[in-house]
A and B are shown apart, each in its own frame.
Chain A
């Protein structure tokens, strides 16, 4: 991947990937930091991006891993997140955003990740299985359970079925 290709990839994917990782980890500032760091690592490892079918998946997986690692360390050390680093919010969160955030928080990490990859990133079950390193049956089960919980918490008619 040369400079021009990387710059295009970065410009086109950054916001989208921050949104996806935010939905997975629940902290926008953390998602932004982790995706930024993942893109820096992506340029460091750019030779690998050439042979990968989806550089988005590489950055997303790396950013998610960073977010989980940071979250664990922060939790272990009982640290408060550095609010000063969060981007300035121009609007108060809407009730819908609060509701989906709370609902996502109720999901186990693996279910939450599967839900985001399927319903937000538009990945197929087999693509999710490949990205998270789990069998497709496990992914289907996570999706079904995650949908069930979300449907109950959001009080929507989200179809509960196996993918």
Chain B
């Protein structure tokens, strides 16, 4: 039994004076919170998906009930014969020299690995001791990654998703996507970026009462520190509130591209406000993702 410090016991004893709500009131508030949380997240997910249209609905695991879908590996509805092992060979076709690997063919980029995915120290640079890694997956999986996830991120050849937080809270995600080339990565980056830009419209259509989402163009990004082209980054703040509730859902999104890789950090949490700035030295304090951005960029290309 650890020894006690009498002064510490005495200090804690002051809590005996603290008033407390009746238990039934705590349960009532807990039930209300549960209802709001579930309804809010369901609305967010359905709303985000609804905005995508029928084409995306057809492959959305939220609606088709897939257990563990691999978005990166989802088969295209228009499979070309060359991709199908069951396709009948064309007897008239002659072997093409381009079918065989050419010594002059450009080498495929090295796919990213878990070593390129941000760690808890980078996701929570102010105090990493309070959270841990919740899961790691090589597929996007079912849940929407934040308020602005429309389920579109191009055609990555590698998908690495690491979630962080504590049980019972909304998770934070670090997602690293590897693409076949820079052009494919740019397309993926643009899709994530566009979803974030259009987040306000998506969330309004989804039924949230008060919504705001904006890109902070002051983000001090310096892509010259790594040997990759192109390099770019964008930071978005989002907020959604249900009328009559005293808490809202806040969303921070950082998306960065370095060559044929994209890293996408998403933090979504329930709370009353989200005071931080992308700028170092700001009175509000620098947002975690902005603070870690240089290290996350270096890690991405390592």
Contacts and interface: CB of A to CB of B under 8 A. Distances in A.
Contacts of B275: 73, 76-77
Size class of the A contact interface (CB-based, 8 Å): 35 or more
A61 B168 CA distance: 12
B10 A94 contact: yes
Contacts of A115: 5, 8
B167 to A, nearest CB: 6
B225 interface: no
Contacts, number: 151
Contact of B11 (A65, A76, A89, A100): A100
Interface residues of B, number: 46
Given A28-B14, A40-B30, A87 B8 contact: no
A103 B86 CA distance: 74
B16 interface: yes
A32 B15 contact: yes
A83 interface: no
Contacts of A78: 283
A100 B284 contact: no
Contacts of A28: 14-15, 18
A28 B16 CA distance: 11
A94 to B, nearest CB: 7
Nearest to B14: A28
A40 B12 contact: no
Given A19-B13, A61-B166, A65-B166, A41 B30 contact: yes
B217 to A, nearest CB: 21
A10 B26 contact: yes
B103 interface: no
Interface in A18-62: 18-20, 22-23, 28, 31-32, 36, 39-46, 48, 58, 61-62
Contacts of A68: 127, 130
Contact of A87 (B19, B27, B33, B130): B19
B125 interface: no
A143 to B, nearest CB: 9
Contacts of B130: 61, 64-65, 68, 132-133
Given A62-B168, A132-B130, A23 B8 contact: yes
B140 interface: no
A134 interface: yes
B227 interface: no
8 closest cross-chain pairs (CB), A and B? A43-B30, A19-B12, A19-B15, A18-B15, A100-B7, A7-B23, A45-B168, A44-B34
